[in-house]
Structure 1
């Protein structure tokens, strides 16, 4: 189904033209259309100040990937049955540096989803200031229920095709949903086998003993909370002692809970696809990790073992009153009704730990209510930032301590926040982090594109 929204009449003509171009050429990719419109919606001020962006059709060029790679991935299961999945790598924009972005293994993956993620990655990576372009990839392979040997065979087959498109100066993938250190290891091993090179910087998210970086596992969740803390401080508020609700209970959610509690907040709820738990004493992080990471149980198992905790089957975790909301599960999980409930219950800040988890209508509710809202391209950039820190360590044949890597991450997240804040103020929209993130990232990429000619 096509995305149901379009550019408004009050948008700059260049914005309207670019969105119509995208909608016409990508009619069956609603996630991609939504991601494009969310960015374009903020760019009219930038195009008014810089007519060269419209004259040179920078928006149309930016919305068209530089390269889209689709390939088959054949593999054999433990019973000898042959399966054929589809692999993707969208190398979206390299104006600022080599393509950088994760690989997602999930049955929902299709070209439109990968393009949405890759488009978001352009601006997320630009905001880090680290000189990396945007890309994304993955497959519709479902690792759930598969044995380690089946996953190994799939990863080797996937990398057999993808390796020819990679390189530390070309395209550097990392992990995402369904792709952790185990999967990265299998793919890196196959890359070495095929290339006959120890090129550590060609993929990130590696194990600590073979080229990985401390804090990489924690980075997205930690970074989201670091951004939130700075956003609150700049607006006269303090994260400590605030009630926090986190959606999800995967990697991002777990480490968002961890960092929020380190900073003095009380995380009272988290969730999975079966429902959510409320723990007024504060989420027991060790128990949550045991249930979700070790035993891979449903979140209800947490409530069964935790005195005073309550499990609510189905429903919305956003019904739980809080001052800070961190959507950290999946795209479009926080809709208009949930946003209104959060506002009615006194939420003061929302920061996206996942990619595009808040619908456009819900974002509008927050902005109109004066809620501080940090879009994912800014708030959850900690993962890719730490990936680049991993590449730096690989290039120097060294490794950093956890504390040093975390300090580097904190500095990077502060820089991302300040770029968003400055861009919003420069365009007369103080405190609007959506506009600030979109404009700041866009201007960096657009200026580099113009400087490098029509390519």
Structure 2
């Protein structure tokens, strides 16, 4: 699709999907499904608007607001809002496109979308953020609703911002409804939502470990390197510790903390890091105050060279808790190693499957809102674990169905995720007359 050239992020996501589909038996066994590809790759609707607001000095400010409502074949548009200076249509189209298939893999009735603004919340006062959120929602509220589009938080949009956005929506529409997820527990939020992406990521990898070992191995004793140190990384680390693994590194944009001792990080270390991030500080400050860590420079996303280095160091499982955490060249390295070395190669869990736990619990929050009930943390966690297990087996079995797997070879989870998500979405689209 030559018209995608100015949109590199969306181009990579599109190319990855096409590579999986065309390299499989899908279009041989179901040639009609190829006709849906150019349809599913175009958003149903792109909303772009200006956001005018006043800073604490009384100065007039203007930002761009967006909502990409990509696909509603499986349910209301669902996907986060991102407030960051880097936000543009290419990034939001990429994220919304990925969200379609990620949401499909949860098994819940959710379509795909994404939105946000180039507004930067860093350095802004609470009042400035509140004024911006009310100005942003003044336009967005015309296009969303519990049965239409249910946004959530993302980068730059945490509990504080979701609260302001929900309050603005309620004020403008005079309705208390489950229009946003990630809400406060006392006003419609779900337990386990902050933990969901990190927990879900670990649950997914646990199934990778179990399957590859014939059910003989678990996280117990495994050395786990985690890229990042925010919400997802922190809860992933805590779940790894709970399952008996050893977390040996965490990182941020300034570098990585590596535990010197054999035991790795403990829960107290993770709590220190969590507080550091709440204070908007870097890991280098913790390194300067502690003598149990050393640092090295980190890069993001994972490049081809780093992918080869991970394999050279004996990495056996790699799963993405972030979106587009690896370049396409790095993914090619993972997949080549899996094919060439079979069960001894690195096994890659793609973002659209491995990190779908966050949106899955957002879907569970929507269900609780519809029923006007709140589930216990144990119930939500149990549902999350079940969703991640079904997602893993769906990816695995789909890869087996549409690819020839050599003896001893681990199936491609990225191919399985892409095909499983695509088939589910485009079949629903066909049934609804979106293509024929």
Pair in the same fold by TM > 0.5: yes
Counterpart pick for 2:276 among 291, 299, 303? 291
SS in 1 for 2:190: coil
Specify the alignment match of 1:389 in structure 2.
364
SS in 2 for 1:59: helix
Specify the alignment match of 1:449 in structure 2.
429
Specify the alignment match of 2:191 in structure 1.
214
Answer yes or no: is the 8 Å Cα contact 2:251–2:298 preserved in 1.
no
* Aligned mates of 1:99, 1:29 — CA distance in 2: 22
* Aligned mates of 2:76, 2:371 — CA distance in 1: 18
Specify the alignment match of 2:207 in structure 1.
230
Counterpart pick for 1:282 among 253, 264, 277? 264
Unaligned ranges ≥5, structure 2: 339-345
Q: Does 1:141 align with 2:119?
A: yes
SS in 1 for 2:14: helix
* Aligned mates of 2:114, 2:239 — CA distance in 1: 27
1:20-47 deviation per Cα after TM superposition (whole angstroms, max 9, x unaligned): 2xxx223311000011001111002212
Unaligned ranges ≥5, structure 1: 1-19, 317-331
1:123-147 deviation per Cα after TM superposition (whole angstroms, max 9, x unaligned): 0000011011100001111111111
Equivalenced residue count is: 413
Specify the alignment match of 2:342 in structure 1.
none
Alignment of 1:44-443 (within 5 A): 44=22, 45-54=25-34, 57-199=35-177, 201-236=178-213, 237-280=217-260, 281-283=263-265, 284-293=269-278, 295-312=279-296, 314-316=297-299, 333-370=301-338, 371-428=346-403, 429=405, 431-443=411-423
* Aligned mates of 1:229, 1:216 — CA distance in 2: 20
Alignment of 1:19-58 (within 5 A): 20=1, 24-44=2-22, 45-54=25-34, 57-58=35-36
SS in 2 for 1:164: coil
* Aligned mates of 1:258, 1:186 — CA distance in 2: 30
Alpha-carbon shift at residue 282 of structure 1 (Å): 1.8
1:233-271 deviation per Cα after TM superposition (whole angstroms, max 9, x unaligned): 111142221111111111111111111111111111111
* Aligned mates of 2:395, 2:431 — CA distance in 1: 23
SS in 2 for 1:256: helix
SS in 1 for 2:105: helix
* Aligned mates of 1:334, 1:392 — CA distance in 2: 36
1:68-92 deviation per Cα after TM superposition (whole angstroms, max 9, x unaligned): 0000011111011111110110000
Alpha-carbon shift at residue 451 of structure 1 (Å): 1.1
Alpha-carbon shift at residue 167 of structure 1 (Å): 1.0
Answer yes or no: is the 8 Å Cα contact 2:230–2:274 preserved in 1.
no
Alignment root-mean-square deviation, CA: 1.2
* Aligned mates of 2:402, 2:218 — CA distance in 1: 26
State the TM-score, normalized to the length of structure 2: 0.93
Alpha-carbon shift at residue 194 of structure 1 (Å): 0.6
Q: Which has the higher contact order (CA 8 A, sep 6+)?
A: 2
- 372-381 or 392-401: bigger deviation: 392-401
| Structure 1 residue ranges, 4+ long, deviating more than 4 angstroms after superposition | none
State the TM-score, normalized to the length of structure 1: 0.89
* Aligned mates of 2:98, 2:130 — CA distance in 1: 29
* Aligned mates of 1:109, 1:454 — CA distance in 2: 29
